[in-house]
Amino acid sequence: MIKAVLFDLDGTFADTAPDLAAALNQVLQEEGKAPLAFDIIRPVVSHGGIALIRLGFHFSDQEVNEQQFEFERLKLRFLDIYLNNISNLTTVFDGIETLLAKLEANHIAWGIVTNKPGWLTDPLMEQMGYTQRAATIISGDTTREQKPHPGPLFYACEQINCLPSECVYVGDAERDIIAGNAAGMTTLTALFGYIEANDTPENWGADAMIKHPEDIENFL
């Protein structure tokens, strides 16, 4: 019997890409560079700010090491812009609100387990109006480990007071499925999320792949 449904945040629960893309393009314009098309930015969003700065400014691994100060400067500017505009364009994915209402009506807990740091996760969830409704919100700095380690998922179970085998974890990245499987949860890959063209979600080992949040209800 499923007692809880846990979601990754970016690309699974909330469509955060528009605000992240806007922040990246503002930094690019401030640095005298051309903005990137949204379709180029969107698939990279799940990998966080470091990946977005690398995408926008074409940093290689060697250049990140050689130009660490410059890289950090650009990253901090990007994060500052994003924090101050964190919910301008962000919404939950179509179907999420209907799903949450049905979970709550059936006394099934739901929560967030993300690698996004708490200083970004908390204001985003608060501004979207979900902080009080979520049974747990686990950020990337809540526990010692981050996904793909199962530690954050185990901690979420402790807070909800349920077994991992009684949980479903939904994510749009391979690390989400690895973490969920390692924790002993049922795992669902959100194909509507931020999946890159060269990703192979069919090989990630999830129990099922879903094309829309309403498919979660059907799976349950």
Residue 8 annotated among the catalytic residues of the structure:
yes
Q: Are 172 and 12 in contact (CB under 8 A)?
A: yes
Specify the 3-state DSSP secondary structure of 122: helix
- Report the chain's mean pLDDT, rounded to a whole number: 96
Cβ atoms of 51 and 175 within 8 Å: the answer is no
pLDDT score of 67: 84
pLDDT at 68: 85
Residues 159 and 178 in one domain: yes
Do 52 and 117 lie in one domain? The reply is no
Q: 23-41, pLDDT tens digit by residue?
A: 999 999 999 999 999 999 9
The reply to whether 35 and 106 lie within a common domain is no
- 108 and 191 housed in the same domain: yes
- Report whether pLDDT(46) > 90: no
pLDDT value, residue 25: 98
The H-assigned helical ranges of the chain are: 17-30, 38-41, 48-57, 61-66, 68-83, 96-105, 118-128, 151-160, 174-183, 214-219
163 CB neighbour count, 10 Å cutoff: 12
Summarised one tens digit per residue, pLDDT across range 73-113 is 999 999 999 999 999 999 999 999 999 999 999 999 999 99
Instruction: Determine the average pLDDT of the residues in 126-134.
Output: 98
Same domain, 116 and 212: yes
Q: What is the pLDDT of residues 150-173, one digit of tens each?
A: 999 999 999 999 999 999 999 999
Same domain, residue pair 102 and 163: yes
pLDDT above 80 (res 122) = yes
64 pLDDT tier (thresholds 50, 70, 90): confident
Q: Which one of the listed residues 8, 19, 176, 215 is annotated catalytic? A: 8
In one-letter notation, the amino acid at residue 87 is: S
Q: What range defines the domain where residue 138 resides?
A: 4-15+91-219
Q: Are strands 91-92 and 14-15 parallel, antiparallel or unpaired?
A: antiparallel
- The two structure tokens encoding residue 196: 């890159």
- Angle of helix 151-160 relative to helix 174-183, nearest 10 degrees? 60
Check which CATH number belongs to the domain holding 162 and give it. Answer: 3.40.50.1000
Q: Do 58 and 110 fall into the same domain? A: no
The answer on 96 and 11 residing in a single domain is yes
Residue 59 has a pLDDT of 85
Q: Which of 214, 174, 194, 148 is nearest to 5 (CA)?
A: 214
**What are the strands of the beta sheet with 167-171, ordered from one edge?**
136-138, 109-113, 4-7, 167-171, 186-190, 208-210
How many domains, the chain?
Answer: 2
CB 22 within 8 A of CB 88: yes
**Residue entry with tokens 């698939």:** 43
**pLDDT score, position 66:** 72
Q: Please report where in the chains the tokens 């990630």 appear, as a residue.
A: 204
Residue percentage of the chain with pLDDT more than 90: 89
pLDDT band at 209 (very low <50, low <70, confident <90, very high): very high
